[in-house]
Copies of this chain bind each other. A is one copy, B any other.
């Protein structure tokens, strides 16, 4: 398997900037993939995208060299395996609240004997090469989302999951879980401390740590703070920002 951009960046000790696709369109995905991100995540959870559309999006971003990632709707083996077979090189799994959740997730990502992923990488083998089966377990990126109070209380056990690539912080859900309003780019000290604790736990366990951001400033500070991976807003947010800037200039 040839390494894609996020993997190259990490190998070189650099950070990875992630773009986020919620619009169910191969065209917006292709535009995102050519914009300068290191990886593109197709969001099948809160994004307006399901499997068949995601497949087309994975094809449309194939020429760009970005690392193709998918967020699944829920921690279910069927959809995790389908997206890997479709060529995703990473999965972000929401709502990983316990060590068992994390083990289930990582198990679905890996072929036996490390896990229970079923063999049949239809498109993955075509586009990622013939040695896919033997390299997949070590190459695919698995991000467990820590985004609830419960997950935070189980942090170290989750981080200790064998085979997990990293933890991806969902700041909005985690804040809601802590009694705050939803939203990204949190500034509350309590939330900030929690993010720091998660980052430290990742470092201690040799994991990558990522975070979902709503602005370039926040993403930059995350990288400065030591995060390995940060999402810079979603296509919907970037599209709306472009529209609103133009519309408000008209007035």
Q: Please name all residues of chain B whose beta carbon is closer than 8 Å to the beta carbon of A220 when the two chains form the complex.
A: 249-250
When the two chains form their complex, are residues A216 and B246 in contact, meaning their CB atoms are under 8 A apart? Answer: yes
- B238–A176 touching, CB < 8 Å: no
A133 within 8 A of B: yes
Rounded to whole Å, the gap between the CB of A237 and the closest CB of chain B is 8
- A52 close to B24 (CB less than 8 A): yes
B-chain residues with CB within 8 Å of residue A19 when the two chains form the complex = 243
Q: How far is the CA of A63 from the CA of B49 in the complex (A)?
A: 22
Instruction: Write the nearest CB–CB distance from A195 to chain B, whole angstroms.
Output: 17
Q: Report whether B239 and A122 are in contact in the complex, using a CB–CB cutoff of 8 Å.
A: no
How many subunits of this chain does the assembly comprise?
6
Q: What is the chain B residue whose CB lies nearest that of A147?
A: B118
List which A45-104 residues lie within 8 A (CB) of chain B: 45-53, 55-56, 59-60, 62-63, 72-74, 76-79, 81-82, 85-86, 94-95
One of A6-14, A31-39, A161-169 at the interface: A31-39
Chain B residues with CB below 8 A from A56, complex form: 26, 56, 59-60
- Cβ of A164 to closest chain B Cβ, rounded Å: 20
Residues of B within 8 A of A179 (CB): 113
Q: Which residue of B lies closest to A97 (CB)?
A: B116
Question: By the criterion CB–CB under 8 Å, are A182 and B133 in contact?
Answer: yes
For residue A62, give the distance in angstroms from its CB to the closest CB of chain B.
4
- A188 at the binding interface (Cβ < 8 Å): no
Q: Interface with B: A152-160, A203-211, A228-236, which one?
A: A228-236
Contacts of A238 in B (CB 8 A): 239, 242-243, 246
**Can you list 29 contacts pairing A with B, beta carbon distance less than 8 Å?**
A24-B52, A27-B55, A30-B127, A35-B240, A37-B247, A46-B81, A46-B85, A46-B121, A48-B55, A48-B122, A49-B52, A50-B82, A56-B60, A62-B62, A73-B81, A74-B78, A74-B81, A76-B78, A95-B116, A112-B177, A113-B177, A116-B148, A118-B170, A119-B172, A133-B176, A215-B246, A219-B250, A240-B242, A241-B242
The reply to whether B243 and A32 form a contact with Cβ atoms under 8 Å apart is yes
Tell yes or no: A244 within 8 A of B by CB. yes
The 3 closest A-B CB pairs, nearest first, are: A46-B120, A242-B242, A74-B78
Q: Pick the contact of A181: B78, B133, B237 (CB < 8 A).
A: B133
CB distance from A146 to the nearest CB of B (A): 13
- Chain B nearest Cβ from A42, distance in angstroms: 13
